[in-house]
Structure 1
Amino acid sequence: MRVNWVIGFVLAASGAVAEPARGPELQAASNFGQTWNEVVFDAAQAEGITALRDEIHWDFAERDGGYVFDHEILTYPELMAEAGMKLTLIAVGEHPDHDAGATPYTAPAIAAFADFFAETAQRFRAVDAVEVGNEMNSESFTEGPAREADIEGRAGYYAALLEATHAAVRAARPELRILGGAAHSIPLAWFGALSADGAGAWMDSIALHPYTTAPEQFRRQIALLRAVPGFETLPIEVTEIGTVEPAKAQALLMKTYCQAALAGATNVTWYPLSPRGDGYVPLLEDDGSVTPVGRTWQMIQAELQGLEVTDAAPDPFTYACRFGDRALVIWGAERALVPEDPALSVRDLSGQPVAQPRLSPDRPLVVLSDGPAPRLGENLRLGPQLVVADSFDQFAYPGGEAGGFHRFVRVGGEVVPFILGPGQQTGGVPWTPYLTTARDGSLSMDAEYLQPSMWNGVAAEIVHAFTAPEAMVLSVEARVAPTPESSDGVVISFRHNDAQLAATTVRDATGVTLPGVALAAGDVLEIVVGPGPEPNGDDSNYRFTLRRVE
């Protein structure tokens, strides 16, 4: 039953039509609801970071049956209003006087929760949206029965909170946006359960924290989410994204902004504004100084926010967003980028000029124009594209393949098709959509990892097959990195039609290159990954790329 339900998602998603979009509003996730920091507050205002996402603690403000706002962490929204700032208020938490400190689940406790956040929104005029819940599909922000429930049960508890809070806030301040969904990652099973509870009717937009989705895969996963009844047209708000890796923070923000904009998102919020003690890279340090990713945030705000955005990608291996006539954000397979108009300047993610720009898959470039719009093929020239297939850039869910590799499972001589795993439908599976099989849920794959299996002693191999559209000579590049849980690694082999070209067992991160594979039109090249003798834990990160040899 669940498998048929998932297949329906895929068929519906393939017909989704993108609507015109604009650069989303930028926000920052602050921590003033837990720790007041006047230096950071003043710096945020001075640096133009004036749209924040934060909380007011219910368990601190409600005392002896009344509301008491008598501390800086309870009154900071007053300062925001005075400074012309605005707040997305997170309605989250428990209270020891209601349901013994569990996530509210009885009618009186649910009403108390909703009434408190409606009163808070009414009290503080800086509040311009209320986000009901925070990562409620996880165990991190739930207590009691909601935490102990399965995904359908937890969705039911959350839907009751959402419905009551929506009604209370709407009665107090009908102009406010109500954000719902409250999801860590993009788990279709969670949204399917919310759909069954009718939760889409009680939100104005969908709040997502896509920490486990590469920006390049965001639009593919949103297309699947759009097929869930009740979530077809609701706006998307990325209310948290961030990283613990400083070297990757700027690129993550710019890539997410570009791809979220193309997916129709109306908001992108960086986590955190200032250090939170969890290692995530902030926009501001505790002394108020701006970090490198903070500079990227400011560049986006100054140059991209609010402008009409269009997809300017010239091929599947290049990502590009054009923002009005002002800017082009671009990254992808390595090659030269040559501006051919003096009105164009190429900048790095800190806004500094780049003398000899080259595309990179890891570091977007920003092309700014003081004249005509930056357009590839007109006033911007790219070097030749040598990539003809890439497992990451051309990853596809069932029904969505459009060139590149064909993916399937082979067991002995039998070909087994992939089906869609919705994500978080049970324990031990990804919280994003992925590929799996009807027989074996442990056999799985997405754009970045794969896990083969063993069926009755026969290897269940994951195959990437490329059919040459014309005669060509290719460099075959494969990177595979088994996780430490794999006891004996995986086996990777390369086949040209029926002939094996090479095979090896991979136990650690390994790159394999076959430098000159000649294919005739119609020839099939396969990259095959199978399990080791002990298949448990054989999940591996991977990427397969085919390039023309000139």
Structure 2
Amino acid sequence: MKSRAAMGPMLLAMLALLNGCGDGSEGVAGMPMVTLGMANATLPPAGGAPAPAATTAGMLRKTTAMSGTGAPMLLGAQTHFSQGWPTSVLPLADQAGVTLLRDSLAWSTGEATKGVYTLNGTTAQALSLACAQGKKLILTIVPRNPAYDSGLFVWSDEGRAAYAAYLSALADRFGTCLTAVEMGNEINGNKVLAYPAGTNAAATYVKMAQVVKAKVGGRFTVLAGSTNQVGTGFLTPFFAAGLLQTVDGLTVHPYRLRAEGIDLEIDRLNAVMDKFGRRVPIWATEFSIDTPDRAFAANELVKETTLMAASGVAAASWYALVDQKYFPNMGLYNNGLPKEQAKAATMMQQVLAQGQPQRIDMGDPLVFAYRFGADTTVIWGAPRSLSVSGGTVRDAIGLPSAGTTLDERPLVITGTTAISVGQSAWVADTLMGWGSAQWRYFARTGTTTLKENALPMFDDAFTGYFGDRWYRPLRINGTTAAVAGNGTSPTKAMWRYTAPEAQSLDLRACFNKTLNGDGVDLSVMKNGKPLWTGILTTSLTPGPLPVDLMAGDKLDIVAGPNLTSGGDAFVYRAVLFRRGASTAVTCFK
């Protein structure tokens, strides 16, 4: 939950990534006050269970049908009655079909004096009105109160008991309307887990969760977290301390530039939970995109909700119901009028209600097709022809579409499963193929004697990426990357495409970065020999670069430091096209 004076969530997330926050150089989430209790975030849990195995590219993305047997993902929205929002916004939730609201009633507000609860103030009345109108509540309650433990995250027996008692009082106040409580907000942020110096944060947080569960278990869903972005690496020490055996679910805030790849990160979090003996439901209690391009945001809403639902996410909450002063682009509504995002959310309520979708294999990994229920399909992908027999085709905001062309904007097809796609001019794409068999990722070290080391999927404190703790700050995400070292001792990031057959291709790419540092050294290599080189300082758009490959030939995109270290993070995208059919490739908004 964001304060009104805070920076935009998307900006925070991207700054954390591009500037190296959460890369482990200053400890997990940069928290010098406390220890999480594990020096290595992938160490096995107590009891000797094996550590999660490193997962290499080509083994991650699911391209065949999944089970599709899960319950429907709930799609809610963030409100801020705790920050003075008027209850006049409640009808807007009805318009968007939103029945799940996320808000707060701060502990220090509800219990300003020890043992005295004041739960009839303006915020409580607004939340009660929402309940009376059929809404369900997720309340984010940060476990801090000046009356206990010097206002730090509660760590004493008295503080933990008082926090649990406050949550019990909230359950008494709101009854079955209170669906879930989050025990904190974006706890992987810098110094958010405020404990006395030397405290084992993971063990102390888990102890609090145990006290809470003993007090209120069964009255509402007890949620741990949340984390800014997915934060698997941050959460792993908490799993080792017994968190998964205590709580009912985890909360994450998967802010990102593009929806693609969120399924890999959620699947990875589920896999790591499995390694620690218990998988609990994931709730994405904040997600959104901070852009003035409403059509783009609506498209991403449809895609991200689809991908999260397919990965079994239990509930997701769009941030926020209405535009705000400090977040003027992120709401579903502006001045009481529905934005494209609201129209997309309204349509997706009907789609999501049909249950967990399964991915349909359309014969090309660059086609994303997900089947909800018997005959509803959400589909997008690399541009190509689309054939639909019968049924209805709508765009992301529910308007009728001719349904003859497929591209990166999602379509919702209902009433038929007779769907086929043509061949695309796109052969491989670093975004839609991220984590698929199309690409492998390496760290290349050395200047004369080169060494290539395959990169696994690495669990960072904020977001998963292809990298390794030994190569920080090098990372390869779906839309952003960073390199390490300097000109005399470089550690370069490398994307490798291996030709499955003889191919005549054109490569086009886009690389953008802030004017920071002396630039990034870029090259395109065929079987180790350069085809193109450049120095990225602000923007480069190489191509069309003709590339003729035989089966087994290797085409590498290599990025490294120029001369000095620092400022070596960038936004990128590269697409391989069939010869003569390329179009401009642009970087992300």
- TM bucket, shorter chain: 0.7 to 0.9
Tell me the residue number matched to 1:447. 478
User: Cα distance 1:231–1:257, how it changes in 2: closer, same or farther (>3 A)?
Assistant: farther
Secondary structure of the 1:261 match is helix
Over 4 Å off, 4+ runs: 11-19
Amino acid at match of 1:85: K
User: Any residues of structure 2 matched to 1:66-81 within 5 Å, and which?
Assistant: 66-81=116-131
Tell me the residue number matched to 2:242. 198
User: Any residues of structure 2 matched to 1:71-110 within 5 Å, and which?
Assistant: 71-110=121-160
Tell me the residue number matched to 2:47. none
CA contact (8 A) 2:384 2:406 kept: yes
412, 416, 424: which one aligns with 1:366:
412
Tell me the residue number matched to 1:237. 283
CA contact (8 A) 1:409 1:418 kept: no
State percent identity of aligned pairs. Answer: 26
547, 552, 575: which one aligns with 1:522:
552
239, 244, 261: which one aligns with 2:309:
261
Return the offset for 1:243.
Answer: 2.1
Counterpart Cα distance in 1 of 2:246 and 2:61: 23
Alignment gaps of 5+ in structure 2: 1-38, 45-49, 581-589
Secondary structure of the 2:558 match is strand
User: Any residues of structure 2 matched to 1:94-173 within 5 Å, and which?
Assistant: 94-125=144-175, 126-139=177-190, 142=193, 144-145=194-195, 153-170=200-217
User: Cα distance 1:453–1:98, how it changes in 2: closer, same or farther (>3 A)?
Assistant: closer
User: Cα distance 1:220–1:497, how it changes in 2: closer, same or farther (>3 A)?
Assistant: same
Question: 2:338 matched to 1:284?
Answer: no
428, 451, 467: which one aligns with 1:389:
428
TM-score by length of 2: 0.81
1:303-360 deviation digits (Å, cap 9, x = unpaired): 332434110252221222111124211112112223222xx22211211112364323
CA contact (8 A) 1:28 1:273 kept: yes
1:490-526 deviation digits (Å, cap 9, x = unpaired): 2222222243222222222221114432222222222
TM-score by length of 1: 0.87
Return the offset for 1:420.
Answer: 4.6
Tell me the residue number matched to 1:428. none
Counterpart Cα distance in 2 of 1:217 and 1:165: 34
Tell me the residue number matched to 2:228. 184
Return the offset for 1:178.
Answer: 1.6
User: Cα distance 1:157–1:214, how it changes in 2: closer, same or farther (>3 A)?
Assistant: farther
Question: 2:276 matched to 1:227?
Answer: no
CA contact (8 A) 2:266 2:308 kept: no
Counterpart Cα distance in 2 of 1:449 and 1:517: 24
Tell me the residue number matched to 1:417. 454
1:454-493 deviation digits (Å, cap 9, x = unpaired): 36814333222222221110011222113332x2212222
1:158-210 deviation digits (Å, cap 9, x = unpaired): 3233222222212xxx2422222322212222211111210112211221111
CA contact (8 A) 1:317 1:332 kept: yes
Counterpart Cα distance in 2 of 1:403 and 1:16: 11
Alignment gaps of 5+ in structure 1: 425-430
Amino acid at match of 2:236: G
Tell me the residue number matched to 1:319. 368
More relative contact order, 1 or 2 (CA 8 Å, 6+ apart): 2
Greater mean deviation of Cα atoms: 4-13 or 314-323:
4-13
Question: 2:563 matched to 1:533?
Answer: yes
User: Any residues of structure 2 matched to 1:425-440 within 5 Å, and which?
Assistant: 431-437=462-468, 439-440=470-471
CA contact (8 A) 2:487 2:563 kept: no
Amino acid at match of 1:441: R
Amino acid at match of 2:353: Q
User: Cα distance 1:77–1:460, how it changes in 2: closer, same or farther (>3 A)?
Assistant: closer
CA contact (8 A) 1:31 1:276 kept: no
Counterpart Cα distance in 2 of 1:535 and 1:546: 30
Greater mean deviation of Cα atoms: 238-247 or 351-360:
351-360
Tell me the residue number matched to 1:475. 506
Tell me the residue number matched to 1:2. 40
Counterpart Cα distance in 2 of 1:479 and 1:15: 25
Counterpart Cα distance in 1 of 2:42 and 2:395: 46
Question: 2:441 matched to 1:402?
Answer: no
Counterpart Cα distance in 2 of 1:140 and 1:306: 41
Q: CA RMSD in A?
A: 2.8
User: Cα distance 1:63–1:188, how it changes in 2: closer, same or farther (>3 A)?
Assistant: closer
